[in-house]
Amino acid sequence: MSEPLLRIEDVGVTYGKGATALSALRDISLDVRSGEVTLLLGPSGSGKTTLLQVMGCLLRPSQGRVSLHGQALHALDAEALSALRLAHVGFVFQHYNLFPTLRAWENVAVALDLKQFPPRQQQAAALQLLERLDMGNRANHFPAELSGGQKQRVAIARALAGKPGLILADEPTAALDGKSGQDVVATLQALAHRENCAVVIVSHDPRVEPYADRVLHLEDGRLVDDRRRHGNQA
């Protein structure tokens, strides 16, 4: 079996100190591999978002070890963590987090600019990504002119800029209607399977589970279930 893209070992995250300390994650250990869709389930306050922050190099755990692409995070400063995120992680947010003053293709181009794509090639590359997500005809629209599903597709295109190995999606269907939500999850699944990237989805949405290769259950900051699904929806 190949080396995991992301390895989490005995990770704990505690907010605050002393009597007011709150454990958000306890003794979490898991590997995330390329080509898989991993679904993180759990009730509110179970630590899903905290775990996503740890996976995305946005939060250093209070204990344990995290390594992404073989690089241990605990020794890295904020700028080095940024560089690691830039190189290997793409984010898809619940509320899209698109830049409202930029057109769809410009939103994607900003991500390419961050990855130091040659300026002359940014527009063409951004349009190509939008075409892949069937958003080519909306490339010149501002986010306010797009539907929720279209916005999320632009957000996925932006997350894909520069071909990151890991895509982290936080409740990507929460703000979408049934059809749009299913389309978005199907797109994420296709990315994982066809382009061999690892996709981790945090969701409450039962419509997501059929698309997952693996389902993790969190409760009170602990990983209580880790099961692989076979014959998922393709």
Partner 1 sequence: MPPSPALIGTSLLAWRNLSHDRARFIVTLIGVGFAVLLMGVELGLLVGFARTTSGLVDHSRAALWITPAGTTNVDIAGRLDERRRFQALAVPGVASVGKLMLQFGFWKKPDGGNESVALVGFEIESDALQPWNLVEGRIADLQQQDAVIIDRLYADKLGVKAIGDTIEINSQRARVVGFTRGLRTFTQSPYVWMTHRNALAYSRYQPEQTTYLLVGLEPGADVEVVRHALGERLGRVDVWKRADFARQAQKYWLITTGAGSALLLSALLGLVVGIVIVGQTLYATTVDRLPEYATLRAMGAPASYLNRVILKQAAISAAFGFSLGTLAAYVIVAISAYGNVAVIVPWWLLVVLAALTVLMCAFGALISIRRLVRIDPSSVFA
Looking at the Cβ atoms of 112 and 208, the one nearer to partner 1 is 112
Looking at the Cβ atoms of 86 and 186, the one nearer to partner 1 is 86
Q: Which tokens is 165 given?
A: 């190995």
Q: Which tokens is 227 given?
A: 């099961």
Looking at the Cβ atoms of 101 and 233, the one nearer to partner 1 is 101
The residues binding partner 1 (CB under 8 A) are 49, 52-53, 56, 58-59, 79, 82-87, 89, 91, 93, 97, 99-103, 105-106, 109-111, 113-114, 119, 122-123, 127, 139-140, 158, 170
Distance CA 141, CA 4 (A): 39
Looking at the Cβ atoms of 29 and 140, the one nearer to partner 1 is 140
Q: In terms of Cα–Cα distance, which of 39, 66, 14 is closest to 171?
A: 39
Cβ atoms 182, 106 nearer than 8 A: no
Distance CA 190, CA 35 (A): 9
Q: Which tokens is 108 given?
A: 């994607």
Tell me how far, at minimum, the Cβ of 4 lies from partner 1, in Å: 21
Q: In terms of Cα–Cα distance, which of 129, 135, 165, 131 is closest to 147?
A: 135
Distance CA 130, CA 52 (A): 26
Tell me how far, at minimum, the Cβ of 177 lies from partner 1, in Å: 23
Looking at the Cβ atoms of 55 and 215, the one nearer to partner 1 is 55
Tell me how far, at minimum, the Cβ of 85 lies from partner 1, in Å: 4
Other residues' Cβ atoms within 10 Å of the Cβ of residue 147 = 12
Tell me how far, at minimum, the Cβ of 164 lies from partner 1, in Å: 9
Looking at the Cβ atoms of 2 and 44, the one nearer to partner 1 is 44
Looking at the Cβ atoms of 21 and 114, the one nearer to partner 1 is 114
Distance CA 222, CA 81 (A): 25
Tell me how far, at minimum, the Cβ of 20 lies from partner 1, in Å: 19
Cβ atoms 67, 7 nearer than 8 A: yes
Tell me how far, at minimum, the Cβ of 168 lies from partner 1, in Å: 9
Cβ atoms 55, 32 nearer than 8 A: yes
Q: Rounded to an integer, what is the distance from CA 16 to the centroid of its chain?
A: 26
Tell me how far, at minimum, the Cβ of 183 lies from partner 1, in Å: 23
